[in-house]
């Protein structure tokens, strides 16, 4: 349960006029280090190449070896194993991103941002894990790990949603995601925007448009279709960047891939060893660019992690919040802005861990200089040590020459594996794929999303709730107002107020904890068709 900061947090919509940049987080799916033009690919990616020329190329950007753990880490700044996610979440799983985790969307929502998600979620299909339960005001996209690019169907049926409602539409998925993103970026708003934009491309199924396939005559499959899908992704990024540039608003755009490529499906890791699902560099070192004109252009050569995204973005806020849960990443803003990396950056350790079977695993621990790698199978355990800064292709094992380094890094790596929650990865008690059941996702999932309306403000406090707590509403014009309290499953717990608030008026609605179990709740104020929300805590 959110305690610490949320327990002391007075939820307040940010005052207008505070300079906070928009944030656009773009995630490619299974795009390898060698799949972009600026890293030498034969795939046509002119828009990504332009982004790299104008921004900061993170030459040593690291993620998890697999998609769902990377996405969990991006949004929380914490390793997926801390929350039971160290494998891709499947249709048959009952796990997902736990409500006790606090996402980047939730932090930015509390800072006055409109928070929108367009694209692939893959962090749980059910109500408690839904994007709108994790801090996003709006959601359009897939809940699962993938579907047909032409009709959005997979083994359990249609997987294309607008908020909590399935939508059956034509078109190509990459283009649909781009169009929705442009719509979000183009609509009028008073405050800053956080747009989380995880594409499905170029992940399987290998589906490409003919207009992109013709760009690669004579290229053998599956690389031809993969290349065409990547070019479509690049074109989508170009559309998004055109909207960002046209807005004239200060904006940070962070582009990255969720893990390395699967070369059997046509991708390339640029000569790096291994690929998706392993502990080698080809699995975890991926293309990434930060486009933020205030930080300039160039190449960043020290390691930056997916776990750094959340603290780095929060560091841009005028008053960065104190994290509710301990973070595994750190704010890289000063170093991206040009400060030389210090020991705190160069000596920290990134862990990569994936269990395979009952006693097998891929495990790695690495700093800026050293990488310890261990692969256990039923037959043997292989151990390697690399000077990874000098040997990024992992060719020269130094484990016999530096036994003390091996022992220290292995001890840290094994300790990391003990963080893994029992039953992490898939729920193996389930064997049947099942469609998402969102029938009970009422309340905040069906409330019209959107930015806070102009002239309306909301404060809730003291928080955690006490007998003198109240919902305080101010409005610049006459409004019909309703105030409801929901639990985290979106069920209405109480209706606190229905009535009118006069122009220039204020209304304090009592919000007492009596009769409420301990937990986190949502206060929703609906006023003349618009709505705002705030999180509150009952602590006993």
pLDDT(321) > 50:
yes
pLDDT for 493 beyond 80:
yes
More confident residue, 132 or 431: 132
What pTM did the predictor assign? Answer: 0.80
The larger pLDDT score, comparing residue 332 to residue 525, is at 332
State the pLDDT at residue 400: 96
Least confident of 13-27, 97-111, 274-288: 13-27
Q: Mean pLDDT throughout 111-126?
A: 93
pLDDT at 7 over 50: no
Specify whether the backbone of 338 is left (phi greater than 0), alpha (psi in -120 to 50) or beta. left
pLDDT per position as a tens digit, 416-444: 988 766 544 454 444 556 677 675 564 44
pLDDT for the residue 528: 73
Q: Is residue 441 flagged as an active site residue?
A: no
Given 91, 122, 207, 223, the catalytic residue: 122
DSSP state, 86? S
Percentage with pLDDT > 70 across the chain: 89
Residue 484: predicted pLDDT: 87
3-state helix/strand/coil string of 418-487: CCCCCCCCCCCCCCCCCCCCCCCCCHHHCCCCCCCCCCEEEEEECCCCCCCCEEEEEECCCEEEEEEEEC
225 pLDDT more than 60: yes
User: Tokens standing for 165?
Assistant: 């409602």
In order of their start, the domains of the chain are: 4-12+24-346 (3.40.720.10), 350-417 (3.30.1120.10), 454-538 (2.60.40.1930)
Taking CA atoms, 512 is separated from 448, 519, 536, in Å, by 26, 14, 11
The mean per-residue pLDDT over the stretch 453-479 comes to: 78
Q: Which of 67, 130, 203, 375 is catalytic?
A: 67
pLDDT of residue 178 exceeding 60, the answer is yes
Instruction: Give the pLDDT confidence score for residue 494 in this predicted structure.
Output: 87
Q: Work out the mean pLDDT of the chain and round it to a whole number.
A: 88
127 given a catalytic annotation:
no
Integer Cα distance of 527 and 531 in angstroms: 6
């Amino acid at each position: 349960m959110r305690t610490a900061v949320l327990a002391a947090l007075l939820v307040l919509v940010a005052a207008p006029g505070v300079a906070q940049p928009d944030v656009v987080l773009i995630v490619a799916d299974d795009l390898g280090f060698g799949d972009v033009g600026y890293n030498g690919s034969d795939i046509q990616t002119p828009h990504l190449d332009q982004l790299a020329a104008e921004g900061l190329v993170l030459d040593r950007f690291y993620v998890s070896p697999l998609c769902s753990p990377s996405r969990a880490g991006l949004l929380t700044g914490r390793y997926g194993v801390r929350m039971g996610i160290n494998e891709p979440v499947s249709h048959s799983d009952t796990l997902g991103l736990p409500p006790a985790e606090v996402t980047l969307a939730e932090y930015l929502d509390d800072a006055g941002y409109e928070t929108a998600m367009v694209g692939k979620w893959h962090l749980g299909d059910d109500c408690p894990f839904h994007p709108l339960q994790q801090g996003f005001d709006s959601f359009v996209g897939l809940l699962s790990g993938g579907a047909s690019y032409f009709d959005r169907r997979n083994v359990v049926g249609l997987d294309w949603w607008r908020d909590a409602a399935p939508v059956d539409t034509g078109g190509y998925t990459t283009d649909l995601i781009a169009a929705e993103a442009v719509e979000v970026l183009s609509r009028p708003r008073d405050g800053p925007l956080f747009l989380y934009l995880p594409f499905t491309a170029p992940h399987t199924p290998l589906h490409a448009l003919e207009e992109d396939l013709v760009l690669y005559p004579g290229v053998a499959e599956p690389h031809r279709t993969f290349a065409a899908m990547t070019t479509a992704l690049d074109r989508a990024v170009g559309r998004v960047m055109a909207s960002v540039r046209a807005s004239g608003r200060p904006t940070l755009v962070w582009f990255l891939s969720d893990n390395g490529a699967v070369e059997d499906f046509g991708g390339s890791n640029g000569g790096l060893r291994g690929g998706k699902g392993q502990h080698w560099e080809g699995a975890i070192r991926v293309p990434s660019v930060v486009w933020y004109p205030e930080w300039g252009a160039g190449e960043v050569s020290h390691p930056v992690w997916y776990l750094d995204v959340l603290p780095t973005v929060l560091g841009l806020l005028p008053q960065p919040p104190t994290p509710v849960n301990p973070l595994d990443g750190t704010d890289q803003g000063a170093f991206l802005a040009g400060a030389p990396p210090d020991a705190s950056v160069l000596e920290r350790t990134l862990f990569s861990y994936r269990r395979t079977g009952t006693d097998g695993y891929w495990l790695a621990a690495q700093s800026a200089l050293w990488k310890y790698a261990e692969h256990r199978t039923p037959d043997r355990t292989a151990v390697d040590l690399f000077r990874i800064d000098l040997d990024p292709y992992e060719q020269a094992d130094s484990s016999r020459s530096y036994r003390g380094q091996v022992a220290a890094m292995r001890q840290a790596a094994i300790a990391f594996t003990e963080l893994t929650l029992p039953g992490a990865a898939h729920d193996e008690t389930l064997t049947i794929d099942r469609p998402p059941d969102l029938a009970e996702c009422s309340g905040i999932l069906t409330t019209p999303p959107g930015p806070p309306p102009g002239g309306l403000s909301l404060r809730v406090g003291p928080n955690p709730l006490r007998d003198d707590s109240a919902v305080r509403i101010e409005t610049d014009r006459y409004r019909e107002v309703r105030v409801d309290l929901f639990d985290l499953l979106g069920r209405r717990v109480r209706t606190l107020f229905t009535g009118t608030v006069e122009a220039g008026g204020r209304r304090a609605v009592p919000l007492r904890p009596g009769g409420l179990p301990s937990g986190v709740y949502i206060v929703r104020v609906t006023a003349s068709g618009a709505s705002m929300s705030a999180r509150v805590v009952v602590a006993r």
